[in-house]
């Protein structure tokens, strides 16, 4: 998606060889028009997949997931990273390690929101090390639902996440694939 690549070059900040900050349009501040066009791009790619649920993990993936789900006219469900007092029902759970937070989480999704007859599209803002997606894949498998693919805004192709997720048989569709962040420069694949 050329528009996304231009925004990454214009507004993204390379913090080091591993980290790209896109908080001017994707995370902390959200360009809703761009978000809508990204949702449409994902819809165009997966339109014939029979999607019944869009699944992400809190929190940065939620805005993208809402845009995608709106196109499919299906609910968004998201796995939580922390348990609240209201989480009294049975949960699907999976362990994930967050590269950006350098912390291990148990992600949780209420079993009422994902059932065996669902066709699920995973959505996230970044794919780097792949741990969040692998955790979501685990949750989909626990539910017995069908996994249709993973829609990713930005994939850091120089890290192992994309290879790990594809190795377990999941189709990954990324709008922007980054080959390198070396020397403070974004190089696309």
Q: 107-146, pLDDT tens digit by residue?
A: 999 999 999 999 999 999 999 999 999 999 999 999 999 9
Rounded-to-integer distance, Cα 50 and Cα 68, Å: 13
| DSSP track, 50-106 | ---EEEEETTTHHHHHHHHHHHHT--EEEEBSS--TT--S-EEEEEEEETTTTEEEE
Q: 45-78, pLDDT tens digit by residue?
A: 999 999 999 999 988 899 999 999 999 999 999 9
DSSP reduced 3-state for 86: coil
Where along the chain do its domains lie? 2-82+89-188
Rounded-to-integer distance, Cα 153 and Cα 167, Å: 20
Cβ atoms < 10 Å from Cβ of 140 = 22
Alpha-carbon distances of 109 from 67, 81, 133, 159, rounded to whole Å:
20, 9, 14, 27
pLDDT at 99: 74
pLDDT at 86: 60
Q: Which residue has the tokens 């796995």?
A: 79
User: What DSSP state is assigned to residue 21?
Assistant: E
Kindly state the average pLDDT of the residues 145-153. 98
User: What value does the mean pLDDT of the chain take?
Assistant: 94
Q: Is the pLDDT of residue 81 over 90?
A: no
pLDDT at 98: 81
Rounded-to-integer distance, Cα 177 and Cα 26, Å: 16
Q: Is the pLDDT of residue 87 over 60?
A: no
pLDDT at 84: 64
Residue 168: CB partners within 8 Å, gap ≥ 6? 134, 137
Is residue 139 within 8 A of residue 113, CB to CB? The reply is: no
Rounded-to-integer distance, Cα 44 and Cα 175, Å: 12
Rounded to two decimals, what is the model's pTM?
A: 0.94
Cβ atoms < 10 Å from Cβ of 179 = 12
CATH 3.40.50.2020 matches 2-82+89-188? yes
Kindly state the average pLDDT of the residues 180-189. 97
Closest by Cα among 95, 156, 178 to 131:
95
Rounded-to-integer distance, Cα 9 and Cα 98, Å: 25
């Amino acid at each position: 998606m050329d528009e996304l690549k231009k925004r990454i070059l214009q507004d993204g900040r390379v913090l080091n060889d591993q980290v790209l900050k896109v908080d001017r349009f994707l995370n902390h501040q959200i360009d809703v028009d761009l978000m809508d066009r990204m949702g449409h791009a994902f819809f165009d790619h997966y339109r014939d997949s029979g999607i019944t649920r869009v699944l992400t993990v809190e929190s940065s993936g939620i805005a993208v997931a809402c845009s995608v789900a709106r196109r499919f006219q299906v609910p968004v469900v998201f796995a939580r990273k922390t348990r609240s007092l209201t989480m009294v029902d049975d949960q699907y759970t999976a362990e994930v390690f967050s590269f950006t937070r350098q912390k291990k989480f148990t992600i949780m999704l209420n079993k009422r929101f994902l059932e065996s007859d669902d066709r699920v599209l995973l959505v996230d803002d970044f794919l780097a090390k792949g741990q969040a997606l692998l955790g979501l894949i685990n949750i989909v498998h626990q539910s017995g639902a069908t996994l249709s693919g993973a829609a990713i805004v930005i994939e850091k192709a120089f890290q192992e996440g994309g290879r790990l997720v594809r190795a377990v048989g999941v189709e990954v569709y990324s709008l922007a694939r980054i080959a390198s962040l070396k020397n403070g420069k974004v190089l696309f694949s």
